[in-house]
Structure 1
């Protein structure tokens, strides 16, 4: 059995910045860390699928590292449009899975389910892309292991969710090529993303694809608005990907925080 908790869009900001005063992202991340630490069994891996910080500052990554220090489970960090690759590598220099080079992508191979983490960032832009070089890297990684169940993760969703301004800034280049590649990769059992601060699911390349909500704040569900989005103080949530050989991969959408038991029912 393997259990992976996916969190996303942490947006940790500097103390007393306007964003920090309004949203308190670091406090919300601290609650998420405490919640993960209480999970039983403990996850084999925590996957943070991008937008780790808010304004790409090195000081924000230093605060992020301090907030994650109490996390008991191992964590793997991905980049989103709010991230700076060089600052991430410099501050998290003890994370030896973070590669040198132009892109921050890697594989996780030691679990019962494999994870391929893609870098979909376009520096300075909100939307993302998978260029020919990144798609070739993914194709090579998929060819390495064709039998092991695999999760493909990227920050920008390659499929629309219906919120116009978020869809316009999701994966804006490379989506059709990714879809074609996944359609040929029978070992891929899930495609996961972040970025949109809401959970939704779709079929993409013949695979179940889904987005992970934020540990910080959510985007309002509004499929009629065309001039922007609203930031909501909805409950933080995470995805829990549970793999058992007998039943395959099951994904749970879980609220983050303490929720009291109303009735404890014992069943035969």
Structure 2
């Protein structure tokens, strides 16, 4: 099973200055084309929040159009830039989305179970896992304690050393850790929010964040104290389940199709005279 993760798509209205500067819709279209072109096509795509920039209906309608070419099921999660009501209204046919309350759900039918958590606090950049949300998670994990599971949410449950982003963190991470420690079937915690690929051990499992499909957060570590964007190459995460023996392996897949691959080993042996394709960049 292959799970693709993209995040922080920040789709805006065409007239929005952010769209003109950051080209988020154009970048999402590239990400969709990239996922469709993968040789090992993902079984599903999960988008871990900040789907749009202002939570407006028109933005979600544009998001829907951009995601329409995907050739695999897509599952949506809210981030701090999203609006639950407008997301539900535009994606009303996404039956996995609850019709009221938190946008939390499970996805079954594949070798790995997906449990999606809602960390959104309306009007605030940080996130929260309250008692109600944590109790829901504990109940879902208790349903299938032997089933390999990934938990997906927007806000990561750990600090990263970028002070401004750490100030917009997750309230309730200790409660989340307590739940996860009781459920060793959780193979990975998939997050967004930070616009960077980051990995950390957390509560007996591994937590990771996915880059944005467009702009990234500049890697300003202490003593720096600012928030800056940088147009580093966007990427998606590919979480490959290799079975009980191999476990879940996570790969970073840059969305940079101007750098095509060329074969140096064909599965039987080394290619004697490998030839890069036309346009292959050597610098």
TM-score (norm 1): 0.97
- Residue number in structure 1 paired with 2:178: 180
- Residue number in structure 2 paired with 1:163: 162
Alignment RMSD (CA, Å) = 1.1
Query: Structure 1 residue 36 and structure 2 residue 30: aligned?
Result: no
| Consecutive unaligned residues in structure 2, runs of 5 or more | 270-283
| Structure 2 contact 235–253 (Cα < 8 Å) conserved | yes
- Residue number in structure 1 paired with 2:260: 260
| Structure 1 contact 32–257 (Cα < 8 Å) conserved | no
Q: Deviations over 1:54-90 (max 9, x none)?
A: 0111100000001111111110000000000111111
| Structure 1 contact 170–195 (Cα < 8 Å) conserved | no
Q: Deviations over 1:20-62 (max 9, x none)?
A: 0100100000000000000122111000000000011110000
| Consecutive unaligned residues in structure 1, runs of 5 or more | none
Aligned residues: 266
In the alignment, the residues of structure 1 paired with residue 48 and residue 181 of structure 2 have an alpha-carbon distance, to the nearest angstrom, of 23
- Higher relative contact order structure (alpha carbons within 8 Å, sequence separation ≥ 6): 1
Q: Deviations over 1:100-154 (max 9, x none)?
A: 2220010111110011000000000000000000000000001100000010111
Q: Deviations over 1:135-180 (max 9, x none)?
A: 0000000110000001011100001111111111021x11101111
| Structure 2 contact 220–226 (Cα < 8 Å) conserved | no
- Residue number in structure 2 paired with 1:133: 132
Q: Which of 187, 192, 195 is residue 193 of structure 2 equivalent to?
A: 195
- Residue number in structure 2 paired with 1:116: 115
The CA deviation at 1:257 is: 2.7
In the alignment, the residues of structure 2 paired with residue 40 and residue 263 of structure 1 have an alpha-carbon distance, to the nearest angstrom, of 13
Q: Which of 214, 217, 222 is residue 220 of structure 2 equivalent to?
A: 222
In the alignment, the residues of structure 1 paired with residue 107 and residue 261 of structure 2 have an alpha-carbon distance, to the nearest angstrom, of 35
Answer with 1 or 2: which has the greater Rg.
2
| Structure 1 contact 165–226 (Cα < 8 Å) conserved | no
- Residue number in structure 2 paired with 1:72: 71
In the alignment, the residues of structure 1 paired with residue 177 and residue 43 of structure 2 have an alpha-carbon distance, to the nearest angstrom, of 28
In the alignment, the residues of structure 1 paired with residue 127 and residue 35 of structure 2 have an alpha-carbon distance, to the nearest angstrom, of 29
The CA deviation at 1:225 is: 5.1
- Residue number in structure 2 paired with 1:232: 230
The CA deviation at 1:265 is: 3.1
